[in-house]
Amino acid sequence: MARYIKEILTLEPQDGVVAEGWLRTARSGKNVAFMEVNDGSCPASLQVVVEPSLSNFAEVAKAGVGTAVRVTGELVPSPAKGQQVELKASAVEIVGTVDTDYALQKKRHSFEFLRTIAHLRPRARTFGSVFRVRHALQAAIHNFFDQRGFIQVHTPIITGSDCEGAGEMFRVTHFDLNAPIPKKDDHADFERDFFGTETSLTVSGQLEAEVFALAFKNVYTFGPTFRAENSNTSRHASEFWMIEPEMAFCDLSGNMAVAEDFIRGIVQNVLDRCADDMAFFDQWIERGLTEKLEKIINAPFEVLTYTEAVAQLEKAPQRFEFPVHWGVDLQSEHERYLTEELIGRPCFVINYPRDIKAFYMRVNDDLKTVAAMDLLVPGVGEIIGGSQREERGDVLKEQIGRFGLDAAPYWWYLDLRRYGGVPHAGFGLGFERMLMYITGMQNIRDVIPFARTPGNADF
Ligand code: 4AD
Ligand code: MG
């Protein structure tokens, strides 16, 4: 049976080794052919040496980049630099040939071009590392919560309530869009739609996670979320994954402590587990990346109130495109200034004005701000948004009204405040933004297998 190339590269010289994979490079002369075979198990490829004595040498010597092969042979010490062993082939089976128009040749392709061949790009070096680290990061996240007794909740993807209250939802309907839509009082009659009510793809699993926190104390969700915001930036996707822990008997400072511990824990785990992929990113994508990440493991994150942050921004030597004053939402240029120029490492901004944050955030005693927290990191900006939740039923009702939302769909959410409600808090980490921070990749489209962004749902 074939073993992973990652494992083969660590074996002692021996006979009877089988490797399977795709050719990264292929060079051949009259007397010998060299092939580098990669199977996605690690950044390195296995060098295979093929001699003319092989019965199908002519066929093998013609095999181009991208060909799928199964090689059997003897693993021998390699004279070449940068590798301990190479495989001296006794048999090479061409499992899948490659047409001559194969787009992924051995040369540098731009990330923009590679997005147009998302069905082939996982085989490119950078994307091998990106998607291995993506896997390792999700495992680290589950592991972090599992070790701390958090229960994972699978919150619904189709939902009847708008968690963020921002109306940026993709509608889910079974109406025939080519026929007149059933109407009642001039509006679409969702009572006649599939679910008997208006439904959308979720923007967040938080409200449902709160239900579970009030039974299991500490819970988290990890699922896809969807936002119909028309932001064509390098950090916004219409479909992204979010991790949302929710803790009962917890306030804003407890929330920040979990978030900080969490970011450190998962970064450490990925650095330990993906040393070779991280070395690749450090060399080719962001110089000094591992040092940056090691630093954040060792230094506490900074905390600024929104009011302090605005004062700092008003004093900033640079001019911003969007002027700042107390009451405005922070734009990415402001966030970047705070975390990159002013602080130089991750920082929490807390206690935002009540009117620019979501309705469920706990109103502070000043009645002007809410117990919100955003975590900003250099290079990416906001990676976490969270808060203590409003546990007082009357204040929550007032907030729903203040934001102009219809209270009816939130009946069960309000009920939680009447039946054993407790102070509770949580946050959402954008999985892809975290991945950008860890890998140094600069565009969210390059850390998602198949990105969905405004104007694009290819593949
Ligand atoms: O700040 P947001 O909107 O917070 C919530 O959804 C809360 N319900 C979370 C909670 O308290 N349980 O989103 C959380 C994070 C952001 O900080 C960002 O990292 C990411 O989700 N995010 C996006 N990532 C990629 N593309 C987008 N369009 C994103 N919108 C938010
Ligand atoms: Mg946010």
Q: Is the C-alpha dihedral spanning 15, 20, 24, 29 positive or negative?
A: positive
| Alpha-carbon span 415 to 407, nearest angstrom | 12
pLDDT at residue 146, as a whole number: 98
pLDDT tens per residue across span 80-89: 888 899 999 9
pTM: 0.96
Phi-psi region of 218 (alpha: psi -120 to 50; beta: other; left: phi over 0): beta
Closest to 228 (Cα-Cα) out of 217, 239, 218, 220: 239
What is the mean pLDDT of the segment spanning 392-402?
97
pLDDT band at 409 (very low <50, low <70, confident <90, very high): confident
Ligand nearest to the CA of 386: 1
Q: Which of 96, 28, 104 is nearest to 65 (CA)?
A: 104
Per-residue confidence (pLDDT) for residue 396, from 0 to 100: 98
Predicted local distance difference test score (pLDDT) of residue 81: 83
* d(C-alpha 15, C-alpha 173), whole Å: 60
pLDDT digits (tens, 9 = 90+) for 202-239: 999 999 999 999 999 999 999 999 999 988 999 999 99
293-312 pLDDT, tens digit each: 999 998 899 999 999 999 99
Pocket test for ligand 1, best of 240, 390, 434, 445 (most atoms within 8 A of CB): 240
Q: 202 in ligand 1 pocket by Cβ < 6 Å?
A: no
| CA 429 to ligand 1 center in whole angstroms | 6
In tens, the pLDDT along 47-59 reads 999 999 999 999 9
Q: Residue 234 in 3-state DSSP?
A: coil
Ligand closest in space to the Cα of 202 = 1
For the chain, the average pLDDT equals: 96
Protein residue with least CA distance to atom 23, ligand 1? 430
Q: For residue 367, which amino acid is it?
A: L
pLDDT reading at 163 higher than 90: no
Residue list, CB under 5 A from ion ligand 2: 385
The mean pLDDT of 17-26, rounded to a whole number, is: 96
Q: pLDDT-derived band of residue 364, with 50, 70 and 90 as boundaries?
A: very high
How far, in Å, from the CA of 374 to the mean position of ligand 2? 7
Residue whose structure tokens are 């940026």:
168
Is the CB of 242 within 6 Å of ligand 1? yes
